[in-house]
Amino acid sequence: MGAVIIFVMGFATMACALCDAFDGPVATDAIRALDNKNVNIALKWVAPGYENEARLAFGRAMSVRQEDAQVKELADLYFIENLVRLHRQSEGKPYTGVKPAGAWSSQIAKAATKALQEGTPEELISALRKKVSISLRDSFSDAYSKSVHQDEGLEEGREYVAAYLQYIGYVEHLNEGVTFTRHCE
């Protein structure tokens, strides 16, 4: 039960965690901004109140980035770390560092990113449908199998109630998640 609820309730947290990784969208856009010499590519990740600080970090990185490969790497890292920090501050969340590439990547996050790149959500829908179907069937089966024994004794009744609450809670959280459209919280 716990894993299912954490999965559903953690949508925003997981999405934001993805933003903190070296291969996440914030870091990717930081490098694109540097490569294209266009800070606006990266500024979308920070609130207006942090824009000047992001511009300053971008300018500092750009001013030394052309010196050599090692300096470029440090400049890139400097800008990525600052952009991720400012992004987290924009969300009202603490900065805990940039996570290693792949640290937060899940198959579903990869499918979601691929869907945006390809302009179609069909593979993502299929992957989510499969994952939700398996979880929902498991939760339903557990509750149903315990429902037939719920009146056989107090322990069986309590096992049913626990399975029922898990099942109904999962369905409710799925329903709430289906209408989830807000940014990271």
Per-residue pLDDT in tens (0 to 9) along the chain, 185 residues: 333 333 333 444 445 556 788 888 899 999 999 999 999 999 999 999 999 999 999 999 999 998 899 999 999 999 999 999 999 999 898 898 888 887 666 677 778 888 988 999 998 888 888 888 999 999 999 999 999 998 999 999 899 989 999 999 898 888 887 775 554 44
CB atoms within 10 A of CB 10: 12
- Asked if 15 contacts 91 with a C-beta cutoff of 8 angstroms, the reply is no
Instruction: For residue 131, count other CB atoms closer than 10 A to its CB.
Output: 13
Q: Is 19 exposed, middle or buried (0-12, 13-18, 19+ CB in 10 A)?
A: buried
Give φ, ψ of 35 to 5 degrees: -60, -35
Are 5 and 11 in contact, with CB atoms under 8 Å apart? Answer: no
Q: What is the pLDDT of residue 138?
A: 94
pLDDT at site 6: 36
- Bridge-partner residues for 99, per DSSP? 21
In this predicted structure, what is the pLDDT of residue 2? 38
Query: Which of the 8 DSSP states describes residue 48?
Result: G
3-state SS assignment for residue 21 = strand
> For residue 102, which amino acid is it?
G
Region label for 63, one of left (φ > 0), alpha (ψ between -120 and 50) or beta (otherwise): alpha
What predicted TM-score, i.e. pTM, was given to this entire model? 0.62
Longest dimension (CA), the chain: 77
